[in-house]
């Protein structure tokens, strides 16, 4: 008899009632509702649908034990075995002006990296604009991705996928990793999810209180401190086939990556302006 994909004893289910008690019952909590789904195509797609249908309120958290059509940036896919990671989306109604909303996925990255370092005891880093990395023995592996989708003029759905217990033979690509493979001191998904959501709430609150100013709330400094992209020579692949090669020297106040060419000209590029960002090997 073939074992069920859901019967792996090393991958217990999330405790929905405990998560609700921990996250929703705090006074003035950002989170207003939490639901754990067994399987869904994409938590982002489903939460966007619910938002447009008037079925979700700000602060809703939608978590999936399995995603069959997980979404990354530019509609790239994100797949993993059931209960091997954390796949969730939240609905936000940002108060800062819309021109500051580009910082939402970046603040989520800062929050996730810090929470994972504290709860799992792993070294983390951020690859601009939306990847969460573990760093072990000098080797960087992608363990998470972040996707923010604007639903309307008032709402943003923020999604995150984090590899927790993926084994080496389950990795989607050679450059991927997981908390378990990085030597995490714990891979219980319940405390990890609580820690990440609390950290997102904390940074989102600071950013909101500062009117979306990333410098005033120390978000810009925190992101720059954790961003492994800075200081490296990179190749930004642009729509239409053009490339921009240079050193990633800064992240500016709008969340754009500033690339300095060999001629010393600084080019700020937004996440939506590039197709890929790669190391410029051999340059």
Give me the CATH number covering residue 268: 2.30.30.100
Q: Beta strands 85-92 and 139-150: pairing type?
A: unpaired
The answer to whether residues 154 and 246 belong to one domain is no
Q: Average pLDDT in the 180-200 region?
A: 97
The answer to whether residue 266 is domain-embedded is yes
Of the residues 210, 225, 240, the one at which a domain ends: 225
Same domain? 196 vs 247: no
Is 11 a member of any domain?
Answer: no
- Tell whether 176 is covered by a domain: yes
Asked if 41 and 57 sit in the same domain, the reply is: yes
Q: What is the pLDDT of residue 138?
A: 80
Instruction: Specify burial of residue 224 (Cβ count, 10 A radius: 0-12, 13-18, 19+).
Output: middle
Per-residue pLDDT band at 273 (split at 50, 70, 90): confident
Give the pLDDT confidence score for residue 158 in this predicted structure.
98
Same domain as 275, residue 192: no
Kindly report the CATH number assigned to the domain that includes residue 211. 3.30.930.10
| Residue 199 shares a structural domain with residue 263 | no
- In terms of residue numbers, what domain contains 244? 230-279
- The mean per-residue pLDDT over the stretch 226-240 comes to 92
Residue 258 in contact with residue 248, Cβ under 8 Å? yes
Does the pLDDT of residue 3 top 60, yes or no? Answer: no
Examine residue 6 and state whether it is found in any structural domain, yes or no: no
CA–CA dist 42, 50 (Å, integer): 12
Do 115 and 190 share a domain, yes or no? yes
- In the chain, which residue ranges form alpha helices assigned H by DSSP? 16-24, 43-52, 103-120, 189-209, 219-226
Residue 272 backbone phi and psi in degrees, to 5: -75, -10
Domain annotation covers residue 257: yes
For range 91-102, the mean pLDDT: 97
Instruction: In whole angstroms, give the CA distance from residue 193 to residue 3.
Output: 27
Same domain, 213 and 257: no
How many domains, in total, are found in the chain?
A: 2
Helix (H) or strand (E) holding 249: strand 243-251
**In terms of domains, do 28 and 133 share one?**
yes
In this predicted structure, the answer to whether residue 1 has a pLDDT above a threshold of 60 is no
Last residue of a domain, one of 203, 225, 247: 225
Residue 177 DSSP SS3 = coil
Same domain, 189 and 253: no
Structural contact between residues 56 and 47, judged by C-beta atoms closer than 8 angstroms:
yes
Q: Is residue 9 part of a domain?
A: no
pTM of structure: 0.93
Same domain, 255 and 190: no
Give the model's pLDDT for residue 283: 41
């Amino acid at each position: 008899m073939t074992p069920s994909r859901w019967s792996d004893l090393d991958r217990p289910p999330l405790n929905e009632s405990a998560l609700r008690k921990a996250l929703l019952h705090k006074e003035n909590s950002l989170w207003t509702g939490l639901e754990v789904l067994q399987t869904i195509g994409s938590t982002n797609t489903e939460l966007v649908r619910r938002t447009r249908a008037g079925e979700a309120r700000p602060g809703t958290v939608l978590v999936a034990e399995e995603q069959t059509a997980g979404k990354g940036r530019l509609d790239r896919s994100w797949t993993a075995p059931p209960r091997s990671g954390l796949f969730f989306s939240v609905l936000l109604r940002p108060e800062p002006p819309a021109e500051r909303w580009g910082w939402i996925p970046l603040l989520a990255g800062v929050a996730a990296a810090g929470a994972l370092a504290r709860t799992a005891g792993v070294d983390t880093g951020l690859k601009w604009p939306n990847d969460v990395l573990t760093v072990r023995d000098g080797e960087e592996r992608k363990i998470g991705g972040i996707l923010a989708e604007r639903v309307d003029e008032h709402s943003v759905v923020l999604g995150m996928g984090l590899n927790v217990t993926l084994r080496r033979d389950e990795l989607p690509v050679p450059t991927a990793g997981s908390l378990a493979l990085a030597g995490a001191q714990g891979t219980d998904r319940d405390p990890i999810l609580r820690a990440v959501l609390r950290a997102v709430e904390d940074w989102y609150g600071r950013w909101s209180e500062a009117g979306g100013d990333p410098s005033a709330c120390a978000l810009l400094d925190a992101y720059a401190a954790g961003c492994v992209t800075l200081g490296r020579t990179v190749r930004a692949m642009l729509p239409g086939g053009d490339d921009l090669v240079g050193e990633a020297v800064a992240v500016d106040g709008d969340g754009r990556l500033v690339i300095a060419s060999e001629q010393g000209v600084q080019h700020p590029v937004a996440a939506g302006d590039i197709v890929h960002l790669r190391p410029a090997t051999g340059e």
